[in-house]
Amino acid sequence: MRNFNSKEKKFWDWFVKNKTKLEEFIDSNQKDYSIYLELTSELKSYNELLNPELTGDEEGVYCFIVTPDGIREGVEPTTKIIYSGPEIVGWKFFRFRQSKDKFGIKINEVDVDIADIKILRKLDIENKGVDISVCFKNYEDANSDFKTAGFLMLDHVVGEMNMLARVDAVDFLSWNDIPKQEETITLLALRKEIEEKLY
């Protein structure tokens, strides 16, 4: 392990000890959540702002992602726990949700794909920030699942670090609420603008 203190060592000792169970959980299409709940508990013992995500990539490598779920105070402990991790064959560790070109999510009755979202944005080049409106095809303001899905779409497509570092304000609208004179862009185009113009 690289730089760590006793709290980080305690977490990674647990992770290494339970590595096989975590791999079986990922391979099983996540039917028994007991080991994931244990992982969540161990990570929150390290820092209550952090949450784990487990997945596999196209090459058969297991991926452990630590996310502060958009809370800026969680950036430092997220970075610290990942950078203190050991090398484990067959595993990759990530700070924050990584940006993806394709992503969709279903929460209860809300089923959202990249194509269902248009973005209004106001760039502040001087202060390196952007305010955005996430516009859903079939948005219902009374249904909070749309906002949950929206933030997850932003984290996974725009990238959680971009969201934490460069996005200032977020609100949610229906396509019907988009002013006719306003230009909208896609989530992928928003990611490109942030990375090209705000860093």
CA-wise closest residue to 154 among 106, 187, 118: 187
pLDDT for 28: 86
Q: Which residue has the tokens 């039917």?
A: 31
Rounded Cα distance, 32 and 18, in Å:
15
Q: Cα separation of 6 and 54, whole Å? A: 24
Measured from the Cβ of residue 109, the count of other Cβ atoms closer than 10 Å reads 8
Residue 98's pLDDT is what?
A: 87
pTM: 0.76
**Number of C-beta neighbours around residue 104 at 10 A:** 14
Q: Please tell me the predicted confidence (pLDDT) of residue 110.
A: 95
| Phi, psi angles (nearest 5°) of residue 80 | -65, -45
**pLDDT value at residue 58:** 79
Q: Each residue's pLDDT tens digit in the chain (199 positions)?
A: 444 568 999 999 999 999 999 999 999 876 788 999 999 999 999 999 999 999 988 788 999 999 998 898 999 999 999 999 999 999 999 999 989 999 999 999 999 999 999 999 999 999 999 999 999 999 999 999 999 999 999 999 999 999 999 999 999 999 999 999 999 999 999 999 999 999 8
Residue 197 in contact with residue 123, Cβ under 8 Å? yes
What is d(CA 114, CA 106) in angstroms, rounded to the nearest whole number? 12
